[in-house]
Chain A
Amino acid sequence: GIQVEQSPPDLILQEGANSTLRCNFSDSVNNLQWFHQNPWGQLINLFYIPSGTKQNGRLSATTVATERYSLLYISSSQTTDSGVYFCAVEPNTGGFKTIFGAGTRLFVKA
Chain B
Amino acid sequence: EPEVTQTPSHQVTQMGQEVILRCVPISNHLYFYWYRQILGQKVEFLVSFYNNEISEKSEIFDDQFSVERPDGSNFTLKIRSTKLEDSAMYFCASSARVGLEPQHFGDGTRLSIL
In the complex, per-residue mask of A57-90: 1 if CB is within 8 Å of any chain B CB, else 0: 0000000000000000000000000000010101
In the complex, per-residue mask of A91-110: 1 if CB is within 8 Å of any chain B CB, else 0: 00001111111110000000
> Is A31 interfacial (CB 8 A cutoff)?
yes
> Is B101 interfacial (CB 8 A cutoff)?
yes
What A residues does B75 contact at CB under 8 A?
none
The answer to whether A33 touches B103, judged by C-beta atoms less than 8 angstroms apart, is yes
B interface size (C-beta, 8 A): 27
Q: How far is the CA of A48 from the CA of B33 in the complex (A)?
A: 17
Contacts A41-B110, A86-B42, A90-B98 given; indicate if A97 touches B48 (C-beta within 8 A): yes
In the complex, per-residue mask of B82-114: 1 if CB is within 8 Å of any chain A CB, else 0: 000000010100000011111111011010000
The answer to whether B56 touches A97, judged by C-beta atoms less than 8 angstroms apart, is yes
Q: How far is the CA of A78 from the CA of B53 in the complex (A)?
A: 43
> Is A17 interfacial (CB 8 A cutoff)?
no
> Is A43 interfacial (CB 8 A cutoff)?
yes
Interface set of B (CB-CB < 8 Å, partner A): 31, 33, 35, 37, 41-45, 48, 50, 55-56, 58, 89, 91, 98-105, 107-108, 110
Interface set of A (CB-CB < 8 Å, partner B): 30-31, 33, 35, 41-43, 45, 48, 50, 86, 88, 90, 95-103
Q: A42-B108, A86-B42 are in contact. List 20 more A-B contacts (CB 8 A).
A: A31-B100, A31-B102, A33-B102, A41-B107, A41-B108, A42-B105, A42-B107, A43-B105, A45-B104, A48-B101, A86-B43, A96-B33, A96-B48, A96-B50, A97-B56, A98-B35, A98-B45, A100-B43, A100-B44, A103-B42
